[in-house]
C-alpha cells in the first residue's frame, strides 16, 4: 500500500484558532488545533473558527482528540492518542472522510496504531519536554530511524522537545515531518519562526 505524503514538513501545534490565521498567513500548511480548556458549544465554535481560517489560508487543519466534534465540524484531519483508540469510532471517522494520525511511544503502541491503518504515526517525545507530563522518557532520534524501518512509507512525525536547531536532525533520522508547540507559539516572532523552520527542514532534505 502506498501512503499519501503529509501536506508539509513542519507541523505546528496551537491552542487557539487565531494561531491558525497567524501561522497560516506565514506559510504553515499543516497545523494541529489542540484545545484542552473548552468543551461543548465553546469548543465547537473554536474548531469552526479554526477551520474558517484554515480554508482561508489553504491549511490542512488537524483536530486533536475530539473526534465527534471533528466529524460535526467537517474537519479534514484528526490526531488521536493511544487512549483515544479505546473509545473513538474509527468507522465513523473514516466514513466522514477524515484522515487521522496516532501518537506512539513504544513498539507495542506502534503495532496497535498500525493495526488500524492511520495516515501517519507520531513518535515522541524525541527530547525532554516540559509542556506535558509524559509516561515515556525521551525516545531519541535513533528511535525515529527504527520507526522509519518498521513503517515503510507511512508518514512519520517527530514531536517532543523539537526546536528549530533540532528539526533537521529529525528529518535526517527518518521523520517526514517535525512538530512543536512552544517553538512556534512562544517564539518572539512566530511568523519568522515558520519561515525559519521551513527553510531548515527543506535544506535538510536537499543534503
Among 9, 29, 60, 103, the one annotated catalytic: 103
Active site residue 29: no
Catalytic residue, chosen from 34, 99, 112, 166, is 34
- The span from the CA of 193 to the CA of 147, in Å, is 28
User: CA 186: distance to chain centroid?
Assistant: 17
| C-alpha atoms less than 13 angstroms from C-alpha of 59 in its C-beta half-sphere | 32
Residue 148 bears catalytic tag: no
CB atoms < 10 A from the CB of 187, how many? 16
Question: Is position 38 annotated as part of the catalytic site?
Answer: no
Exposed, middle or buried: residue 90 (CB in 10 Å: 0-12, 13-18, 19+)? Answer: middle
Exactly one of 36, 130, 132, 207 is catalytic; name it. Answer: 132
Rounded CA gap, 70 and 2, in Å? 26
DSSP string spanning 171-190?
HHHT-SEEEESHHHHTSSSH
The residues that are catalytic are 34, 103, 132
Amino acid at each position: 500500500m502506498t501512503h499519501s505524503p503529509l501536506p508539509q514538513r513542519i507541523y505546528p501545534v496551537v491552542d487557539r484558532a487565531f494561531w491558525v490565521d497567524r501561522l497560516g498567513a506565514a506559510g504553515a500548511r499543516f497545523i494541529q488545533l489542540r484545545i484542552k480548556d473548552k468543551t461543548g458549544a465553546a469548543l465547537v465554535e473554536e474548531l469552526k473558527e479554526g477551520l474558517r481560517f484554515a480554508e482561508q489560508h489553504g491549511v490542512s487543519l488537524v483536530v486533536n482528540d475530539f473526534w465527534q466534534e471533528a466529524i460535526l465540524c467537517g474537519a479534514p484531519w484528526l490526531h488521536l492518542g493511544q487512549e483515544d483508540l479505546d473509545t473513538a469510532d474509527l468507522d465513523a471517522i473514516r466514513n466522514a472522510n477524515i484522515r487521522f494520525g496516532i501518537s506512539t511511544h513504544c513498539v507495542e503502541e506502534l503495532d496497535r496504531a498500525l493495526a488500524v491503518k492511520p495516515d501517519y504515526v507520531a513518535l515522541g517525545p524525541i527530547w525532554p519536554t516540559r509542556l506535558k507530563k509524559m509516561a515515556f522518557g525521551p525516545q531519541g532520534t535513533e528511535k525515529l530511524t527504527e520507526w522509519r524501518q518498521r513503517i515503510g512509507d507511512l508518514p512519520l512525525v517527530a514531536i517532543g522537545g523539537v526546536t528549530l536547531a533540532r528539526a533537521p536532525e529529525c528529518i535526517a533520522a527518518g521523520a517526514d515531518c517535525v512538530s512543536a508547540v512552544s517553538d512556534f507559539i512562544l517564539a518572539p516572532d512566530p511568523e519568522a519562526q515558520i519561515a525559519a523552520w521551513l527553510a531548515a527542514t527543506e535544506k535538510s532534505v536537499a543534503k
